[in-house]
Homo-oligomer: A and B are copies of this chain.
Amino acid sequence: MPSMDRSTDEKLETKEMDIRSLSSSGHQAQNTPYIHKVGVPPKQNLFKEFKSTVKETLFSDDPFRPFKDQTGSRKFILGMQTIFPILEWGRSYSLTKFRGDLIAGLTIASLCIPQDIGYAKLANLAPQYGLYSSFVPPLIYAFMGSSRDIAIGPVAVVSLLLGTLLQNEIDPTKNPIEYRRLAFTATFFAGITQATLGFLRLGFLIDFLSHAAIVGFMGGAAITIALQQLKGFLGIVKFTKKSDIVSVMISVWGSVNHGWNWQTILIGASFLSFLLFAKYIGKRNKKFFWVPAIAPLISVILSTFFVYITRADKDGVAIVKHIDKGINPPSLNEIYFSGKYLGKGFRIGVVAGMIALTEATAIGRTFAAMKDYQLDGNKEMVALGAMNIVGSMTSCYVATGSFSRSAVNYMAGCRTAVSNIVMSCVVFLTLEFITPLFKYTPNAILSAIIISAVINLVDFQAAILIWKIDKFDFVACFGAFFGVIFASVEIGLLIAVSISFAKILLQVTRPRTATLGKIPGTSVYRNIQQYPEATKVPGVLIVRVDSAIYFSNSNYIKERILRWLADEEENLKAEYLPRIQFLIVEMSPVTDIDTSGIHALEELHGSLQKRDMQLILANPGPVVIDKLHASKFANLIGENKIFLTVADAVSSCAPKLAEEA
């Protein structure tokens, strides 16, 4: 048993002593082999333990903290403020803030109107549905959301994903009404999915899609979207329904002789150059952020005017032709609540909802970190879900936070979600009064706008950084990217999710282990590969296990430790050094152990006993020491074989080693 009654100085002395010096002056060491006992935390009762686990898992952000010690009416007000954050920040809203929000709102409105019309086409819907989705959802979000910078509306990737998935079920040209109904059904369930995840506080599930996989997926989706735009950009009439690069390229080159329309190409190319130039200006000087933001609207106005004047549509330049005037018609009765499309709509909604959530969460977190405010992920999900549920009843399809518009919103100086309200009002006015003017807008312009918008999603620099930091991450990124481009968005997504999971599984099945050595002149034991100057202790092998020991890795860990031992013994034999008598397992990183883990330790202990070696544990954590006692494993190896530090454990071996020497 550790002796606690010695003076501090003496303890330090012993502790700091090098094992080599101990073997020569063994007697002194024999008296003070170890110093500190491993702490056993106070036993928690079952309910408390369960409560703390649930809290860490589902309520890790401690959402009830403000409700503590409040009166009933105050709790109600706080509750309402939790659901509608506008009640909280609205009270301190000022004219200064409104000025910022007004400018930002007008800027993103001018950007969103042409984008919306284009994105609706990606989802195989009539152009007005894009505008509808920029009217109702942003309003709802402004009341319920807590991000100050996100700009809500339809986005390219979700539109493409939704279009692809819906098209697999219903042909949008043959059965446009059923198609639209299925779109609303999917939107409804996307909202339900989002709100449910938030409400059940399962928001962490979207963390299972790794950053690297998202970068790859987004990049792939952007290129796929850009390729799809070749239809409008080149004025091709017959175009493939598939989205993989091979089919699209065959479509494009197959129609090169009698399908391309030079007038369309001329319009598209000149305005695309204009848009890219505007982007370049905005990038070079942050002051001119508004140039790329209003360039699309200017392009639309100029090109529409041009086509109207020249009547280029008679020469084969495809135009928008018709956008319904008026605001969102109700669509609750169009949602499939029964029949075979219910299940399909649900499935598509779940997928689209999750992807929309991933995008919105990434945006929300990014800007919250930049302005250093806290964002409650689960609350955000409820807000996004509510907005899509209401949206599905008012002829909107899945809306979420847009990368490009949120960035413009931020740079234009938005202060609160009021900028979304401003945008929403502009869209309202557009729907009520301006839509007929879009009749002569050439499709090529919309294609050019979409191409210039999505091109930023191909993030080469992020990919390079991923390559530099983590090769496995790069594989995930690469896989998702090529999956989207060469197969389809679904396959790409599947690859992204699978590789993300594979990485998690790999992490838990094959944890790292390391042999430790003593860093000269200290009592610190570190990985020998990282610190080549660290020296091994003769007769002792020190192995650190770098993970919780669970069923998924317990067997591997046991075998890996035995392999370290076999390797070490081989080396020793070659160099005629004394044999290993003690195996010290440094348990600091072992945060938890389960029944399989205890079994593995028992087996390890058994194997070592047969070889006349002793198993010693160093620094098991609170949970682990608890379980070592509960399972009687601590008794099996002996309580005095468990030490606070590796240094203590090594000291305890010294007398025995000295005897042999």
Q: Which residues of A contact B (CB under 8 A)?
A: 8, 11-12, 15-16, 35-36, 39-41, 46, 49-50, 53, 56-57, 60-62, 204, 207-212, 365, 369, 372, 462, 465-466, 468-473, 500, 503-512, 514, 519-524, 526-527, 529-532, 546-548, 550-556, 559-560, 563, 588-589, 591-596, 598-599, 603, 606-607, 610, 619, 621-623, 625, 627, 630-631, 644-645
Residues of B within 8 A of A509 (CB): 57, 204, 207-208
Q: A530 contacts B589, CB within 8 Å?
A: no
Q: Given A39-B526, A526-B39, A644-B524, verify A594-B207 contact (CB < 8 Å).
A: no
Determine if B508 and A607 form an interchain contact, defined as CB atoms under 8 angstroms apart. Answer: no
Candidates B472, B520, B591, B606; contact of A511 at CB < 8 Å: B591
A469 surroundings in chain B (CB, below 8 A) = 593-595, 598, 627, 630-631
Closest 6 A-B residue pairs measured CB to CB? Answer: A589-B589, A210-B551, A8-B521, A530-B622, A546-B591, A211-B596
Contact B552 A468 (CB under 8 A): no
**CA–CA, A503 and B211, complex, Å:** 22
Q: Whole-angstrom distance between the alpha carbons of A593 and B595 in the complex?
A: 28
| Number of copies of this chain that the complex holds | 2
Q: Could you tell me if A46 and B595 are in contact, using CB atoms closer than 8 angstroms?
A: no
CA distance A245 to B78 in the complex (A): 49
B contact residues around A622 at 8 Å (CB): 527, 529-530
Give Cα A589 to B53, complex, Å: 21
Q: Which residues of B contact A471 (CB under 8 A)?
A: 46, 49-50
Instruction: Please determine whether B563 and A62 come into contact, CB atoms closer than 8 angstroms.
Output: yes
- Give the distance in Å from the alpha carbon of A204 to the alpha carbon of B630 in the complex: 28
Can you give 18 A-B contacts (C-beta < 8 A)?
Answer: A36-B522, A57-B509, A60-B559, A204-B509, A211-B594, A211-B596, A212-B551, A462-B595, A465-B595, A468-B631, A469-B627, A472-B594, A504-B508, A504-B552, A524-B644, A526-B619, A546-B591, A547-B547
- Contact indicator B595/A212 (Cβ below 8 Å): yes
Docked pose: A211 CA to B550 CA in angstroms: 9
What residues on B are CB-neighbors of A598 within 8 Å?
469
- A57 contacts B372, C-beta separation under 8 Å: no
Beta-carbon nearest neighbor of A15 in chain B: B522
Point out the residue from B36, B208, B592, B606 that lies within 8 Å of A372, measured CB to CB.
B606
Q: How far is the CA of A251 from the CA of B62 in the complex (A)?
A: 51
In the complex, how many angstroms separate the beta carbon of A648 from the nearest chain B beta carbon? 9
State A365–B554 Cα separation when bound (angstroms): 12
Neighbour of A504 across the interface among B372, B531, B550, CB < 8 A: B550
Contact between chains at B606 and A369 (CB < 8 Å): yes
Residues of B within 8 A of A16 (CB): 12, 16
- In the complex the two chains form, what is the Cα distance from A521 to B14 in whole Å? 12
By the criterion CB–CB under 8 Å, are B560 and A473 in contact? no
In the complex, residue of chain B having the shortest beta-carbon distance to the beta carbon of A508:
B504
- Told that A207-B556, A469-B594 touch, could you supply 4 new A-B pairs with CB distance under 8 A? A39-B527, A211-B551, A511-B591, A512-B592
Most buried by B among A212, A469, A512, A526: A469
Cα distance A11–B522 in the bound complex, in angstroms: 8
In the bound complex, CA of A510 to CA of B56 (Å): 7
Q: Which of B503, B551, B553 contacts A550 (CB 8 A)?
A: B503
Q: A365 with B555: in contact, given A12-B522, A465-B631, A630-B469 (CB under 8 Å)? A: yes
Q: How far is the CA of A369 from the CA of B562 in the complex (A)?
A: 12
Contacts of A507 in B (CB 8 A): 508, 548, 550, 592
CB-CB under 8 A from A563, the residues of chain B are: 60-62
Partner of A607, one of B372, B526, B554, B592: B372
Residue of B nearest to A9 (CB): B521
A73 to B511, CA, bound (A): 37
Contacts of A512 in B (CB 8 A): 591-592, 621, 623
Q: Which residues of B contact A520 (CB under 8 A)?
A: 8
When C-beta atoms are compared, the residue in chain B nearest to A56 turns out to be B510
Within the assembled complex, what's the spacing in Å between the Cα atoms of A444 and B512? Answer: 54
Minimum CB–CB distance for A628 against chain B, Å? 9
Judge whether B470 and A594 touch: CB under 8 Å: yes
Q: How far is the CA of A293 from the CA of B593 in the complex (A)?
A: 37
Query: A508-B508, A553-B207, A556-B204 are contacts. A594–B50 as well, Cβ < 8 Å?
Result: no
Bound complex: CA A46 to CA B625 (Å)? 39
Distance (whole angstroms) from the CB of A50 to the closest CB of chain B: 7
Chain B residue contacts of A530, Cβ below 8 A: 39-41, 621-622, 625
**Which residue on B lies nearest to A633, using beta carbons?**
B469
Would you give the shortest CB distance from A508 to chain B, in whole angstroms? 5
Contact of B508 with A61 in the complex, beta carbons under 8 Å: no
Which residues of the other chain, B, contact A599 by a CB distance below 8 angstroms?
211
Q: How far does the Cβ of A566 sit from chain B's closest Cβ, in whole Å?
A: 9
- Chain B residue numbers with a CB within 8 Å of A592 are 507, 512
Interchain CB contact (< 8 A) of A610 among B15, B211, B372, B506: B372
User: How far apart sit A484 and B212, CA to CA, in the bound complex (Å)?
Assistant: 39
Residue numbers in B under 8 Å from A369 (CB-CB): 603, 606-607
Shortest beta-carbon distance, A41 to chain B, in Å? 5
Most B CB contacts (10 A, CB to CB) among A512, A524, A553 go to A524
Contacts of A532 in B (CB 8 A): 39
Contacts of A589 in B (CB 8 A): 546, 588-589, 591
* Complex Cα spacing A552 to B462, Å: 18
